[in-house]
Amino acid sequence: MIDTEKYILGIETSCDDTAAAVVDVNGRVLSSVIASQSDIHVKYGGVFPDLASRAHTLAIVPTIREAVSQAGVDRDHLAAIGVTRGPGLIGSLLVGLNAAAGLGMAWDIPVIGINHLRGHLRSADLEERRITFPAIVLLVSGGHTFLALCESDSDISLIGSTRDDSVGEAYDKVARMLGLGYPGGPVIDKLAREGTPCIKFPRPLLGKNLDFSFSGLKTAVARYISSSDRLIKSDVASSFVAACLDVLVSKCRQAILTHPAASLVVVGGVAASLQLRSALSELCDELNIELCLPPVRWSTDNAAMISLATWDYIKSEKHPELQPQVRLPISEF
Ligand code: KG4
Ligand code: ZN
């Protein structure tokens, strides 16, 4: 018997953000606290796994304490704790899983291991129900890039995925090559709007199937940068973003035309890109399909999305073991 009057405490530590949140059964967010580690990783131009685990260990207790206190709840108000069990960095996942297991034992409430990718999918329904099924989901993050077909919250099948790098990784690597810091996505997205897309970079796998590939594009940008004597960073950013958007929009078009759906859902950190948002909005207007975009604050990693996904697990009685999984496809719970 599910007590829908209660709340879920969500915990997320799969990569470089320590996050905790309290959410009700309708996706109302009572609190969402994120301790970012960008300051630590900025000098490496990417996430340094060992430092990420250490920083999670320091931040996990204060972050959970703050989320519970901001929400004004105590253990009696919680139906369960949901914690990311994968995919992610092993050392980072273990910190969240151990904290959740300890807290569950102390408070005598169930702890459920959650698939981070299902969390991203549910980010689209935080605060209000936005997804209409069947839906085509484009997930674009630092760790993943794929297209999935969702018949319901729990019936999800992959229809295309990246053969090498994720698009977020390509944004971060290009930012690093241009000396723009980490995470690179927001900086590249902004700089691109100041330049012109005058450099012809490749559009890998364009017009082929629904799979993606971004490593060749990344290499082409690296080659251009090392051979150019008058580098205009904004033009490089603009041309790189134009290539990424061409690929993402064209694959979404192809997916919509081959898998009739009621909505296109776009989630994950790169969904924070204003340029991607407007390009997909044009596409959906043209093809007459609903576009579901969570607000930018829910696109990047957070624990509210993990809390909301936990309700799906409870409803469908899925309680995977609290085993960390470095790799975990979205089709699995
Ligand atoms: O979903 P997320 O927070 O973490 C993962 O699960 O990977 O995604 C992080 C990725 C990073 O690669 C970051 O550079 C990118 O999302 N990102 C953006 C923007 N904000 C974050 N990419 C493009 N434009 C943005 N505004
Ligand atoms: Zn993520």
Percentage of the chain lying above the pLDDT 90 cut: 90
Point out the ligand 1 atom lying closest to the alpha carbon of residue 141: 8
Pocket lining: 15 vs ligand 1, CB cutoff 6 Å: yes
Pocket lining: 269 vs ligand 1, CB cutoff 6 Å: yes
Q: What is the pLDDT of residue 41?
A: 85
* Å from CA of 268 to ligand 1 middle: 7
* Å from CA of 183 to ligand 1 middle: 7
Quick: pLDDT tens for 49-101.
Answer: 999 999 999 999 999 999 999 999 999 999 999 999 999 999 999 999 999 99
Question: Considering only CA atoms, which residue is closest to atom 24 of ligand 1?
Answer: 273
Pocket lining: 214 vs ligand 1, CB cutoff 6 Å: no
Q: Which of 183, 246, 211 shows the shortest CA–CA distance to 42?
A: 183
Quick: pLDDT tens for 280-325.
Answer: 999 999 999 999 999 999 999 999 999 999 999 999 998 888 999 9
- How many C-beta atoms surround the C-beta of residue 231 within 10 A? 12
Domain assignments of the chain as residue spans, ordered by start: 7-122+298-316, 132-293
CA distance 111 to 172: 34
CATH number of 132-293: 3.30.420.40
Pocket lining: 84 vs ligand 1, CB cutoff 6 Å: no
- How many C-beta atoms surround the C-beta of residue 160 within 10 A? 22
Q: Band of the pLDDT at 46, cuts 50, 70, 90? A: confident
CA distance 293 to 127: 12
Pocket test for ligand 1, best of 12, 17, 141 (most atoms within 8 A of CB): 141
Quick: pLDDT tens for 185-213.
Answer: 999 999 999 999 999 999 999 988 999 99
Q: Band of the pLDDT at 157, cuts 50, 70, 90? A: very high
CATH number of 7-122+298-316: 3.30.420.40
Pocket lining: 294 vs ligand 1, CB cutoff 6 Å: no
pLDDT at 1 over 70: no
Does the fold of domain 132-293 match that of domain 7-122+298-316? yes
Quick: pLDDT tens for 213-269.
Answer: 999 999 999 999 999 999 999 999 999 999 999 999 999 999 999 998 999 999 999
Pocket lining: 272 vs ligand 1, CB cutoff 6 Å: yes
Residue with tokens 């977020």: 168
